[in-house]
Homo-oligomer: A and B are copies of this chain.
């Protein structure tokens, strides 16, 4: 895959060497994200951060990643009804907005809309999510986190055993991660969910066809004894017909420190795409895990900045110039204290 000038709208675009290229560049972004160094390589470049559906954390993550490379951000943070109400096509919107920036990030509630937009854009488009369809940078940051956490344990992604827990039907992050894992060898996935919220059959089939060992259960503690990662998810209440129906499943698979100590390996990594539901009737990941060094959930969002920096640098073809335009940070760095 040639990243220069490419749209990034689906994880299906990625072969294993592509994923590894992104991860390798993400590693090199670390000194900038940790505020040890500042780079100005994209000074003068403009990101059009077009979020036609609100999402504070993903929007700010993309914007900060671009700022960390020295670029500017123009943005929209909400549904833009006016032009659509006036009958404008998404392609027209793309042609206009792509005249204002060097690269665009776009989130839109309609499935397929980001690819539609990208087809008419005159600059590269990175998807920030299109409804229930794709959220490729989330899948990449999840896998990047798995790679890093396992590397700290002397391991690689090949040979991974991971438990995916909770609402596997509506949670698009596990769908995408499941697909990405097909690029690796000797993967075992344990799917733990209520039967009604199980992973869609076509994804399970695709995983098995690629050689992934998939087992399915609706019981938590029996199945997390020998996994490297527990990947917990939230009941996607907003996709259920009613709150009452979501309530039936909320809180079924809770993890806390006591359960972790009794059932997990002492260094099992805990992940979650966030937000985690901390209300008492859900409490998927109890706050008593917050001091557990294996809780990687905030490292995941930190890694999202690295992965997004890497994609910007690759799409705009500045990877090898990042360090040439850099200097040491000259202000207080909270991260080093």
User: How many positions in chain A have a CB within 8 Å of any CB in the partner chain?
Assistant: 78
Task: Identify the stretch in A127-135, A149-157, A214-222, A269-277 within 8 Å (CB) of chain B at 4 or more residues.
Answer: A269-277
- Within 8 Å of chain B (Cβ to Cβ): is A76? yes
- Within 8 Å of chain B (Cβ to Cβ): is A234? yes
The reply to whether A102 and B42 form a contact with Cβ atoms under 8 Å apart is no
Task: Identify the stretch in A48-56, A174-182, A204-212 within 8 Å (CB) of chain B at 4 or more residues.
Answer: A48-56
Smallest CB gap from A327: residue in B: B44
- A87 CB contact (under 8 Å) in B122, B279, B287: B279
Mark each residue of chain A from 293 to 337: 1 if its CB lies under 8 Å from any CB of chain B, else 0. Answer: 000001001100100000000011110010001000111111101
Residues from 44 to 96 in A contacting B, C-beta threshold 8 Å: 44-46, 48, 54-57, 60-61, 63-64, 67-68, 70, 72-74, 76-77, 80, 82-83, 86-89, 91-93, 95-96
> Measuring CB to CB, which residues of chain A are less than 8 angstroms from any residue of chain B?
4-5, 35, 38-46, 48, 54-57, 60-61, 63-64, 67-68, 70, 72-74, 76-77, 80, 82-83, 86-89, 91-93, 95-97, 99-102, 122-124, 234, 237-238, 274-279, 282, 287, 298, 301-302, 305, 315-318, 321, 325, 329-335, 337
